[in-house]
Amino acid sequence: MTVFRLVVGLLLAAGVLCFAMYIGTGQVAWRQRGLVIVKWTVLAALAFFAVVILERLALML
């Protein structure tokens, strides 16, 4: 769980840095990279928590 939190935090920080580079340089490529990183990070986090919830539900039954 700690490793997952670390990876998600680093990926979100990378997305923020990409947005900062976009603001600093004005190049659209940085904004696109930031959006892709944030989008896939959120999707992976949702999938991870869905698996955790399903695992806990299975133990309850």
Tens digits of residue pLDDT in 9-58: 999 999 999 999 999 999 999 999 999 999 999 999 999 999 999 999 99
DSSP character at residue 1: -
Going from N- to C-terminal start, the domains of the chain cover: 2-60
Task: Please provide the DSSP assignment of 8-60 as one string.
Answer: HHHHHHHHHHHHHHHHHH--HHHHHHHHHHHHHHHHHHHHHHHHHHHHHHHHH
pLDDT attached to residue 22: 97
DSSP 61: -
Q: Residue 5's pLDDT band (boundaries 50, 70, 90)?
A: confident
Q: Is the pLDDT of residue 61 over 90?
A: no
pLDDT at res. 10: 94
Which comes out higher in pLDDT, residue 2 or 41?
41
